[in-house]
Amino acid sequence: MPEIPLSVSQIPSPHEIVPMLIGSTVEAIERELVLQTLARCHGNRTHAARVLGLSVRTMRNKIRQYATDGTDVPGRG
């Protein structure tokens, strides 16, 4: 399934994003960003790591920790 890019009009501005994040921990925001990127990359961990600027090893370690914590991690469909 090909990735569908967002149009510029669909991307919220920083002024819209920051208020939504206030009150959340950096860890929670990072987790959500990793999980949503994985979902958008259809579970492709290498592609998601590249999009986020992470090493594949770091991505693998984060996913392992999330799964250990009981989080549902998107996988290949």
CATH assignment, 24-68: 1.10.10.60
| Whole-number Å distance between alpha carbons of 22 and 11 | 19
CB-based contact 21:29 (threshold 8 Å)? yes
pTM beyond 0.85 = no
Break the chain into its structural domains and give their ranges: 24-68
Distance between CA atoms of 7 and 59, rounded to whole angstroms?
27
Q: What is the pLDDT along the chain (77 residues), one digit of tens a residue?
A: 455 555 556 666 766 777 777 888 999 999 999 999 999 999 999 999 999 999 999 999 999 999 999 999 988 65
Neighbouring CB atoms inside 10 A of 31's CB total 17
Contact of 32 with 40, CB cutoff 8 Å: no
Phi, psi of 4 (to 5 degrees): -100, 110
